[in-house]
Amino acid sequence: MSEETTITRRDALLAAGTLAAVGAAGVGAAGVIGLVGTPEPPGEPHLTAPFATGGVPLDDPAADAWNAAPESVIPVQAQNVAPPMLPTAGLLELRARALHDGDALAFRLQWDDEDVDDLDAVHRFHDAVAVMLPTSPGPPPAITMGARGTPTHILQWRATWERDLTGKTGVDQVYPRVVHDVMPDDVLPPETAKLYWVGRAVGNPLSAETRETPIEQIVAEGYGTTTHLPRTDASGHGVHNGSSWTVALGLPTNREGIGAPLEPGSIWSVAFAVWLGNQQNRGGRKHYANWVKLTLAPRE
């Protein structure tokens, strides 16, 4: 591979092949964390987050501040490590930028998707993107969302949760001309009617009637262990332009109660996942990027 500052698609695909080969062992070529000064292998994707003296635009993917952040092309592949798998990839890359200011770390993620999928229905799934961070510095946990004893911290933006912020979403939006006969909340007191939305009554975050943020914070110790964190301090905003999604999302860097703080001047691993709703991506049927080195520039 040639030494270039911009990563060509060919290089990215070759890198993906190399990373995939070692991915199962959980320590990718980007696993040289904490060894300051080690030269980066040429052609490997990496992400540098400049220090943003003017603050990080957590909720605005179009803000000018993003121009200061170099864009990295991150290759993604279809998840085929464990069922349920994605048989065929519908996406090859994710374009990522990052910024931080000592209080918050934000990402701007962009990927190609012609359709907006922001409602769930029978066999209809939504667009989403996720950022995965280790909870402590050092070699990252297994790429399979960590493992028992080595957790991962995940932020997931969902098109459905974004739409939830703009108003009601449910049957009336999936089928605008639906006619209901009698609904529980027409005839029962609110607390009793609520029992007929069982997911909502038991507090499942997917079923919440109102939402404060389109970002879900999750902790996991391997596939199948996704655990919702009842916190609303991660925020973000996604915008579709007709051919791609651009999502800004971020979190406070102190990560109290979850993991070690994301200090300026530190080096971390970060990974990503993308779901294309129009290809029935959901859960393990996703596109994922292997661990990538994330450098947080020192404080200015």
Task: Please give the residue ranges that form the binding site for other proteins (CB under 8 A).
Answer: 80, 83-85, 87, 120-125, 160, 170-171, 174, 178, 180, 182-185, 196-204, 206-207, 223-226, 282-284
Minimum CB separation from other proteins for residue 78, in Å? 11
The answer to whether the CB of 278 falls within 8 A of the CB of 115 is yes
Nearer of residues 121 and 165 to other proteins, judged by Cβ: 121
The answer to whether the CB of 292 falls within 8 A of the CB of 93 is no
Residue 30 three-state SS: coil
Minimum CB separation from other proteins for residue 206, in Å? 5
The answer to whether the CB of 129 falls within 8 A of the CB of 275 is yes
Minimum CB separation from other proteins for residue 215, in Å? 16
Nearer of residues 67 and 88 to other proteins, judged by Cβ: 88
- Give residues with Cβ within 8 angstroms of 126, minimum separation 6: 117, 118, 119, 120, 158, 159, 160, 275, 277, 282
Nearer of residues 36 and 198 to other proteins, judged by Cβ: 198
Nearer of residues 32 and 116 to other proteins, judged by Cβ: 116
> Token pair for residue 188?
């029962």
Minimum CB separation from other proteins for residue 23, in Å? 17
Minimum CB separation from other proteins for residue 174, in Å? 6
Nearer of residues 14 and 81 to other proteins, judged by Cβ: 81
What are the DSSP calls for 32-70, one per residue?
-TT-TTPPPPTT--EEEE-B-TT---TT-TT-GGGGGSP
